[in-house]
Amino acid sequence: MNERVQGAGGRVDLLAAHLGLVDVDLNLAAILGGARFQGSSPRFLPVHRVLADALEDPSFPDYDAILIDCAPNFHMVTRTAIVASEYVLVPARPDYLSTLGLDFLRSRLSRLVEEYNAASPNPISTSIVGVVYTMIQPAGAGILRAQKISMERLGQIEIPEFRQTIRDNKTAFTEAGDRNVPAVLSPERTDAIESLRHELQQLTSEFTAKTRI
């Protein structure tokens, strides 16, 4: 994959997860003394900083950006990623259940930042840079009415949104995993792939503009 990205003037390295990490959430929670925040615990800072400390390795400053893909929960691994990050980007399918939890996510994020800053001499200011709507289903010149209603509901709670959305394309994303190549670098040249590639490129441009990376 690196050879293909370098040919486009860049470089991407991937540190993949492993099934052996399946218990890491439980292990971190056990060290902390439970699954709750427990900001008063003397282990609160060391546990929540495990990823941030690892990213201080001398090899990482050479990267313009580090993207951490987290599970859709607020368990310990996700919390360590938030502490290590400047921004949180939230992919969300525009349906009732997916958008229902976004306001809850924002409140949990705010609470974690507050508890961390109360315990740390070096405060963090992690924030939600925006929600990206994925698995969009086109309908004529627009999108499905049900998805549009869910997107409008999110707008009412004033969480930042990306203008660019990503349409549903199971073939492109499935083959990307099989080939170990990002969907945007797919060798296919079908109209659907080209449209998806354009959407991903536009999303990247919007992300860099918002974060000023």
CATH of 14-211, one of 3.30.70.3270, 3.40.50.300, 3.40.190.10, 3.40.640.10: 3.40.50.300
* pTM for this predicted structure: 0.82
Q: Report the C-alpha gap between 144 and 126 in whole angstroms.
A: 33
Is 40 a residue whose pLDDT tops 80?
no
Closest CA to 188 of 177, 208, 172: 172
Long-range contacts of 55-63 (CB under 8 A, 24+ apart): 55/84, 63/13
| Coil, strand or helix at 174 | helix
Span 172-198, average pLDDT: 74
Q: Report the share of the chain in percent with pLDDT over 70.
A: 88
CA–CA–CA angle 23, 106, 88 (5° rounding)? 65
What per-residue confidence (pLDDT) applies to 168? 83
Is 26 a residue whose pLDDT tops 80?
yes
Q: Report the C-alpha gap between 78 and 101 in whole angstroms.
A: 15
What is the pLDDT confidence band of residue 141, given thresholds at 50, 70 and 90?
Answer: low
Least confident of 88-92, 153-157, 175-179, 193-197: 175-179
- Measured in whole angstroms, the distance separating CA 35 from the mean position of its chain's CA atoms is 22
Closest CA to 164 of 129, 106, 207, 127: 207
Neighbours of 116 (CB within 10 A): 22
What per-residue confidence (pLDDT) applies to 30? 83
Classify strands 87-92 and 138-139 as parallel, antiparallel or unpaired.
Answer: unpaired
What is the pLDDT confidence band of residue 196, given thresholds at 50, 70 and 90?
Answer: confident
What per-residue confidence (pLDDT) applies to 34? 62
Is 3 a residue whose pLDDT tops 60?
no
116-133 pLDDT, tens digit each:
999 999 999 999 999 999
Q: Report the C-alpha gap between 76 and 25 in whole angstroms.
A: 5
Is 177 a residue whose pLDDT tops 80?
no
What is the pLDDT confidence band of residue 188, given thresholds at 50, 70 and 90?
Answer: confident
Span 35-46, average pLDDT: 72
What per-residue confidence (pLDDT) applies to 1? 44
Q: Give the chain's mean pLDDT.
A: 82
Span 66-75, average pLDDT: 90
